[in-house]
A and B are shown apart, each in its own frame.
Chain A
């Protein structure tokens, strides 16, 4: 056990060392394992929380830039300590529970919101050797944990005994029962391409080529569904400020509100990470560069973790970019967009990918990649043609804009 071992596989190194220390103390093997797990889990969650604090700063700074402002710039260099000031403020604020609220559910909801996001970190591979655990049903776990977050919002909205919050929660249900369908359908595509449902397996399958190049449409649909699942603009009907004041969290104050806010940011970042894992090769995906001599350092866990964080940050930034560019969509448009556009499209993409993958896999790699990419282009152009035709049909029957009313003199 040398320093080189530590650099090559830090988690294994520390874990082995800790287990050895604990067993030397006379603990049984299983108890030692549980204790090592607990230490590892705590470190991972604390890392996620520290990252979350950083995200508050990133979010505020980036929003400011999108809106042509400076953002936080008073506390520390570039306002970097602003989130700590925010946290202190939130913790010392009075925590108000509205009189008519269902107190138990009201208090559970923010905790559940945070837990649902933290739970995602149990399977998030930061590097080939730095990860919580490698579930073989990881994709289903992701969907389940996502639904838990939705449940937290529904609980928070319902238990507040506030009409705005209740309508916000109801909209969240509409959102969830819609956008989960194309999302889960699209999750089948990495499963087919990688022949695996574990995130490690999906990343390993992308060592040569990113799935975003094999299924660009799948990536785009997943991106839209991720934004909808997060309840961010243009799908932020849950907290539509102009009509629902703050939506589901209108009655929350202090640190309970803080958890909703923090978990939303961490959720967005985590989904940026999932986009990176499912379609952009996660911590790997160097197009086989790591096998070339002189580039073996790319498989170092620290480098891999840095690559993953960078990719996830990019996904997070893209989600923010959409959020601060587009206006809010109307709820009937939101459901129509899902059921009449995304679901049929995602099914077409799934069927095409499945059949073409089966047929083309025997061909040389470049022909396979080209075929998959071309099929997506054909679907995309076909979709655009159908939409255009539909648009023309609507134009013909649409009511002409009413003439300007005469002025009352």
Chain B
């Protein structure tokens, strides 16, 4: 009896425990002498101004949208690729047309200047 997902589950549990062991060990044998200066945010010697959790512009916002498009596309392509040898030729061509439609989306974004860092 071999259950793959049981194995993966147990593997992940042990995979979480193993990295924790040295951290716990370090907690017992390493010195703990915190002070305000030591715990201050590191900024090359200058005292930090304000919080870091502020809003700022993520220039790759549009890239992320295009990424989402392609990532979903690939999910649909995996079954196609997996059965490619059994499919008739027209089904292969249909897959290619599907890719073509998505490429036209990329071309559109490109022509619109969305793939520029701005």
Contact = CB atoms under 8 A, between A and B. Distances in A.
Interface in A1-48: 29-30, 33-34, 37-38, 41-42, 45
Contact of B19 (A42, A114, A184, A254): A114
A96 B117 contact: no
Interface residues of A, number: 87
A155 to B, nearest CB: 13
B89 A358 contact: yes
Contacts, number: 217
A130 B89 CA distance: 38
A172 to B, nearest CB: 11
Contacts of B70: 181, 185, 343
Interface residues of B, number: 67
Interface of B: 1-4, 6-8, 10-12, 14-16, 18-20, 22-23, 25-27, 29-34, 36, 38-44, 48, 51-53, 58-60, 63-64, 66-67, 70-71, 74, 77-78, 81-82, 84-85, 89, 92-93, 95-96, 99, 103, 106, 110, 115-117
A16 to B, nearest CB: 12
A177 B60 contact: yes
Interface in A161-219: 161-166, 170, 173-174, 177-178, 180-181, 184-185, 188, 191-192, 195-197
A344 B102 CA distance: 11
A170 B64 CA distance: 12
B57 to A, nearest CB: 10
B18 A114 contact: yes
A358 B67 CA distance: 28
Interface string A127-155: 00000111110011100000000000000
17 contacts: A45-B14, A93-B26, A94-B31, A96-B38, A99-B41, A100-B51, A110-B19, A110-B23, A114-B18, A118-B15, A160-B41, A174-B58, A180-B71, A188-B74, A188-B81, A258-B22, A350-B99
A42 B82 CA distance: 33
B9 to A, nearest CB: 10
B26 A173 contact: no
A146 B92 CA distance: 29
A118 B3 CA distance: 19
A30 B95 CA distance: 44
A361 interface: yes
Given A181-B71, A184-B74, A339-B110, 19 more contacts: A41-B11, A87-B22, A133-B8, A136-B4, A162-B41, A163-B43, A163-B52, A180-B67, A181-B74, A191-B78, A192-B81, A195-B84, A259-B19, A335-B60, A336-B116, A339-B66, A347-B99, A354-B96, A355-B96
